[in-house]
Structure 1
Amino acid sequence: MKKTLLLIVSPVLLLVLLFVFVPQHFASSTAHTTSEAAFAPKVKPLKDVATLPEANTEVYASLIDYAMSLRGTPYVWAGETPDGFDCSGFITHVYGKYDVALPHSSRMQAEEGINVPLEEARPGDLLIFTGTNPDVREPGHVGIVITAPEEDTVSFVHASSNGGVKVSQVEGTRYEIRFLEARRVL
């Protein structure tokens, strides 16, 4: 009988002690309805858009002038001198004249600088395209913007395997479907 009484009284005594000694805010029904604001981060979120530096128009103009002076230079696979360029070698050479070291690879150049929307591209930015097969959506060609989009089309200078260093347009050409992104490296 003592065991039965102890088995009945123990749980009751435990409940009474818990009720008396547990703080009321834990026992209230609102304790489990915390608002999402309680878990909000205490830091400001990052903006969705990159902060783009102001254009140094003198440097851009000089870079474009130099790149344009190389028009007519023949295409040479793996070339990066005025004797002959491939597309990424042309970029490496032109930017190198302005102390901007870029790798001699369109795939690696596509990782340099910051991504900018084509509508915000400005002269001096890089345009990254697929290789000749637009279905393979990987960097395979690169050029330098020479006219901004507000002029209805984006023109660029590049070393093409079909014609060497020349000027082409994005819109209305095969380059439009090959376009991947614009990169700002200056």
Structure 2
Amino acid sequence: MKRFLFIALVGAVMVSCKSNSGIVTSKSEAKRKGMYSKVSSTQSTNTMEAVTFKKPAVKPVGTIENTTSEIILSENNAKANTTASVFTVDVINEAKNYLGVRYKFAGTTRSGMDCSGLVTTVFKEFDFSLPRSSRDMAKVGTVVTKKNIAPGDLVFFKTNGRSVINHVGIVVDVIGDEFKFIHSSTSRGVIISSNTEPYYKKSFAQANRVF
């Protein structure tokens, strides 16, 4: 009887943790939660808006050309619907392909990557060069206010009580005052987190628009 009660209690705790977690740790989980942008031509769009964009041949801003790629944008994300460019969409899709990759200091490959390694690797795929460190990356582009953050922006943090920027992520969604960003965390690898989480709410430093 005691063993049965123990198993039931453990099961209840596991279910509770799973249902309350806002962190996305894998591509399959992102797809289940409707956060993954790539969709098939047969996927239902009853609650999402399907949009066809063109993939850039020359990726940096101002030189976008046309090859088809598909994404979906959530209806409650008006900011994303109005500001998402072709390049933004492709950058976010590329970043989400790395969900679940483990953390590795100075890593830049699927065998492991750190936060700035993820960002530079994603942008390099589109021939867009960024500095290797998050601190130097924060000097690129234009600083935007928190209320104007949009998908594709880089967000920077001063974590673990640091006085200088030491962490970076890419914004993938904005809903009201909340923004979700993909990054490589030291404890869980490449995941999607929210600025509403106390740790990131406290350590947020700035946001930059680099394209």
Provide TM-score, normalisation by structure 1: 0.66
Is it true that 1:145 corresponds to 2:171 in the alignment?
yes
Structure 1 or 2: more helix by fraction: 1
The AA in structure 2 aligned to 1:109 is M
- Once the two structures are TM-superposed, the CA of residue 57 in structure 1 deviates from its matched residue by 1.5
Q: 1:109 is matched with which residue: 137, 140, 151?
A: 137
Is it true that 1:96 corresponds to 2:124 in the alignment?
yes
Is it true that 1:181 corresponds to 2:206 in the alignment?
yes
1:60-80 CA-partner distances (Å, limit 9, x unpaired): 111101101110001000001
Compared CA separation, residues 67 and 122, structure 1 to 2 (3 A): same
1:79-128 CA-partner distances (Å, limit 9, x unpaired): 01122110011111011111210111011011111100111111110000
The AA in structure 2 aligned to 1:88 is S
The equivalent of 1:170 in structure 2 is 195
Give the whole-Å Cα distance in 2 for the aligned partners of 1:145 and 1:67: 10
Give the whole-Å Cα distance in 2 for the aligned partners of 1:77 and 1:138: 18
Structure 1 or 2: more strand by fraction: 2
Gaps of 5+ in 2: 1-61, 63-81
Is the 2:154–2:208 contact (alpha carbons within 8 Å) kept by the matching residues of 1? yes
1:131-175 CA-partner distances (Å, limit 9, x unpaired): 322xx331010000011243x411000001010000000024210
The equivalent of 1:63 in structure 2 is 91
The AA in structure 2 aligned to 1:176 is K
In the TM superposition, what are the counterparts of 1:1-186 in structure 2 within 5 Å? 55=83, 57-133=85-161, 136-150=162-176, 152-186=177-211
- Once the two structures are TM-superposed, the CA of residue 56 in structure 1 deviates from its matched residue by 5.7
Is the 2:184–2:191 contact (alpha carbons within 8 Å) kept by the matching residues of 1? yes
Compared CA separation, residues 154 and 66, structure 1 to 2 (3 A): same
The AA in structure 2 aligned to 1:155 is K
- Counterpart secondary structure, 2:151: coil
**Over 6 Å off, 4+ runs:** none
Give the whole-Å Cα distance in 1 for the aligned partners of 2:119 and 2:185: 12
Give the whole-Å Cα distance in 2 for the aligned partners of 1:156 and 1:164: 13
Q: State the Cα RMSD in Å.
A: 1.7
- Once the two structures are TM-superposed, the CA of residue 59 in structure 1 deviates from its matched residue by 1.1
Give the whole-Å Cα distance in 2 for the aligned partners of 1:153 and 1:84: 28
Across the two proteins, how many residue pairs are aligned to each other?
131
The AA in structure 2 aligned to 1:112 is V
Give the whole-Å Cα distance in 2 for the aligned partners of 1:159 and 1:76: 9
What's the % identity of the aligned pairs?
Answer: 34
